[in-house]
Structure 1
Amino acid sequence: MTTTLQQRSSANVWDRFCEWITSTENRIYIGWFGVLMIPTLLAATTCFIIAFIAAPPVDIDGIREPVAGSLIYGNNIISGAVVPSSNAIGLH
């Protein structure tokens, strides 16, 4: 029985990845924009879903009357919302 070992260089892996990303032979073309867009959209979608379910009430008007939009605080799918806050601007 003969065993053959084949060495792969690390640069070869990067070259194959680059060719796969930019290949138009794929079923769905990803491209370099897709390499950045897909993980960003997944993170944003995950954050939105978590906020839709469990975001705390927010004081929108500054009159100390919090507005709750998440499902945990009694809203349903139709009336639920991710309520923006001016405090979130300072967070970014």
Structure 2
Amino acid sequence: DGIREPVAGSLLYGNNIISGAIIPSSAAIGIHFYPIWEAASLDEWLYNGGPYQLIVLHFLLGVCCYIGREWELSYRLGMRPWISVAFTAPVAAAAAVFLVYPIGQGSFSDGMPLGISGTFNFMLVFQAEHNILMHPFHQLGVAGVFGGSLFSAMHGSLVTSSLIR
């Protein structure tokens, strides 16, 4: 069922675009950093989920740098930095799923797979093991993200509808 065991996710294995995934690192790796030069061969690195760590860590680094870029751009244009502050909510959610939760569980093998079916499987397993939907902080976070999106849309429509031509 994919719980704490590697899921064969490559397209060469017979998966399609929906079921294909980049699987998390092997449970034997734990939370250790697993660069390509630490493996005995490229095949071993690919089999043990090395690309997962490479992609996830570069993704997190990239989105954090993008927050800094938004902050700098707003500063140079004389704007207030609320766009970059708002972008920290989805970045925090991604960091929680890709970095904080696997470290808390003791292995990157518990991280969310990068793919459509793997993501849905992760959500179902996470709900079954932790009942996250009933946690009050999760409910507040979801309400905050969706509420912020609603208020941003209302503010944008109000500003654009009241422009003087």
TM-score range, shorter chain: 0.3 to 0.5
Higher helix share: 2
Give TM-score scaled by structure 1 length: 0.35
Q: Which has the larger radius of gyration?
A: 1
| Bigger RCO (CA 8 Å, 6+ sep) | 2
Superposition TM-score, scaled by structure 2 size: 0.22
